[in-house]
Amino acid sequence: MVVLAGGNTPASAYRLLAQLEIDWSNVILIPGDERCVPSGDPDANQTMIRRELIDRLDPAAVPRYLGPPLGLAPKEAALAWQQELSELGESLSDGLGIDIALLGLGEDCHTASLFPNSPQLKATGLAAPVENAPKPPPGRVTLTLEFLGSARERVLLAVGAGKSSAVTELFSGSRSEQFPASLLPDQSTTLLCDQSAAAQLTA
């Protein structure tokens, strides 16, 4: 079970993944968050994940994609997604467990659609609606911090000078709702960044 980040940064990573010899039929893909836009909308994370990864795979052995339904309001989409994820957990012998979560890191240190000082940071369960996101579109659905924190492994991906302050904040050791990614467990969390994103770090 793999959680995938949206946006543009991980697209090249997904293209590389598609070239690996993996039995994708045994893999479940879940987006870390989704925008409440119509199906097929270019801004949907599902659109990018399918284009850069799923559509490049052998049609005979594709992963299961389990994202929220598109075209619904945040509360409706979150409720439907929560139900589907819960039913999946009930059908698995070892329960619902994320093996690896690939997450983006925003300039404000947000991850998925968990934004600074937002009520979603205290949400329990698996999925939560976001109705007033500071980035467009305002309507979104996100996996909860609780669920992402339970992943066996987490990778935060940060690219570009605009992420350098967020990267530095993560290395400061402080934990604050002002910097949502800092609330993820340190254990089994890896930060993967380029030189520009690491520019403010010192020895």
pLDDT digits (tens, 9 = 90+) for 15-69: 999 999 999 999 999 999 999 999 999 999 999 999 999 999 999 899 999 999 9
pLDDT tier at 200 (50, 70, 90 boundaries)? very high
The number of domains in the chain is: 1
Q: What is the pLDDT of residue 31?
A: 98
Q: What is the pLDDT of residue 95?
A: 81
Residue 28 covered by a domain: yes
Mean pLDDT of the chain: 94
The residue-averaged pLDDT of 146-157 equals 96
> Is residue 82 a part of any domain in this protein?
yes
The confidence score (pLDDT) of residue 173 equals 83
What share of the chain has pLDDT > 90, as a percent? 89
Q: State the pLDDT at residue 144.
A: 98
CA distance 164 to 57: 34
Q: Which region holds residue 173: left if phi is over 0, alpha if psi is between -120 and 50, else beta? A: left
Answer yes or no: is 198 within a domain: no
Are 111 and 31 in contact by the 8 Å Cβ rule? The answer is no
- Both tokens of residue 144? 């909860």
Q: Is residue 199, in this structure, part of any structural domain at all? A: no
pLDDT of residue 24: 95
Q: Can you say whether residue 112 is alpha, beta or left, with left for phi > 0 and alpha for psi between -120 and 50 degrees?
A: left
User: Is the pLDDT reported for residue 194 higher than 90?
Assistant: yes
Residue 164 has pLDDT above 70, yes or no: yes
pLDDT over 80 (residue 182): yes
Answer whether residue 203 is part of any domain.
no
The 10s digit of each residue's pLDDT in 69-106 is 999 999 999 999 999 999 999 988 788 899 999 999 99
**Residue 15 forms part of a structural domain:** yes
What's 89's domain CATH number? Answer: 3.40.50.1360
What are the backbone angles phi and psi of residue 196, rounded to the nearest 5°?
A: -65, -40
* 83 belongs to a structural domain: yes
Grade residue 8 by pLDDT with cuts at 50, 70 and 90.
confident
- Place 203 in a pLDDT band, splitting at 50, 70 and 90: low
CB 159 within 8 A of CB 93: no
**Residue 200 within a domain:** no
* DSSP state for residue 68 in the 8-state scheme: P
Domain range enclosing 41: 2-193
Q: Which two three-digit tokens encode residue 125?
A: 């369960």
pLDDT of 3 over the 90 cut? yes
